[in-house]
Amino acid sequence: MIPAYQRIKNAILDNIHSGKWQAGNAISTEMALAAEFGVSRMTVNRALKELSEERVLERRQGSGTFVAQQQFNHTFVEVRNIAQDLKSANRDYQAQVVSKRTLTAAMLDDELRRKFGIDKDDDRIEHEVAVLYEVKIIHFADGQPIQFEERWVDAAKVPAFIDQDFSVVNTSDYLIAKSPLERGNYTIRALAAFDEVASALQIAPQSPTLVLRRQTYSAGQVVTFVKMWHAGDRYQFSGEL
């Protein structure tokens, strides 16, 4: 069962994402929200406090609670874009879309449920509505596969995502344009390639790969989760300290 404070947070975020409440707008009062959801003001206060800490809302003493004016722009979170990286290195870049599909809540594994905060008791499971979009793309440098991208996107936040031609449009560029990213986190691990990855990268099964896993947030919620697989002998990560 979803806790009452989380249901209130979800409802507020839905109103913001739908455009009902825009940046600078006042939201419903604590008293009105308590009456709407049949909970105590203490429960409402917890929801508003957490959204304020996540910089989604701004609470003004004596005035109420407002949708925060986001100070970030499209480059607030720097997201590495393999297309730009390869082109800047004067290498020929191409992308091949392997698959695109729409996922219902019942189709998700435990990892995706955790990443996107979808509980097993979520009402959307029973109604079989689209919750995530999935795309798989191979990125080529000079005709050689260099990255295999597996990406999942919140269908409610970016509804037109699945309709794009990602052999032409870069996934990261599109998401940043449609849902500016406020923060993110990532890990890089060395893993053996399973059959699908090995086939995409044209390497032997169980060959070493470098896998970058990244999730990024917009308005306090995960908007996309991606796994980027790289052949270990063709790719390296570098930077400056």
Note the pLDDT tens digit of each residue in 38-76: 999 999 999 999 888 877 888 888 889 998 865 443 334
What count of other Cβ atoms lies within 10 Å of the Cβ of residue 21?
19
Q: Tell me the C-alpha to C-alpha distance, in Å, between residue 89 and each of 28, 82, 142, 143, 146.
A: 51, 11, 11, 15, 14
From CA 207, how far away is CA 209, in angstroms rounded? 6
From CA 95, how far away is CA 81, in angstroms rounded? 12
Query: What are the pLDDT digits (tens) for 200-212?
Result: 999 999 999 999 9
| CB 107, CB 131: distance < 8 Å | no
Name the strand (E) or helix (H) holding 111: helix 110-116
Verdict on whether the full-model pTM lies above 0.75: no
The candidate with the shortest Cα–Cα distance to 35, out of 23, 43, 26, 24, is: 43
| CB 224, CB 188: distance < 8 Å | no
pLDDT at residue 117 is higher than 50: yes
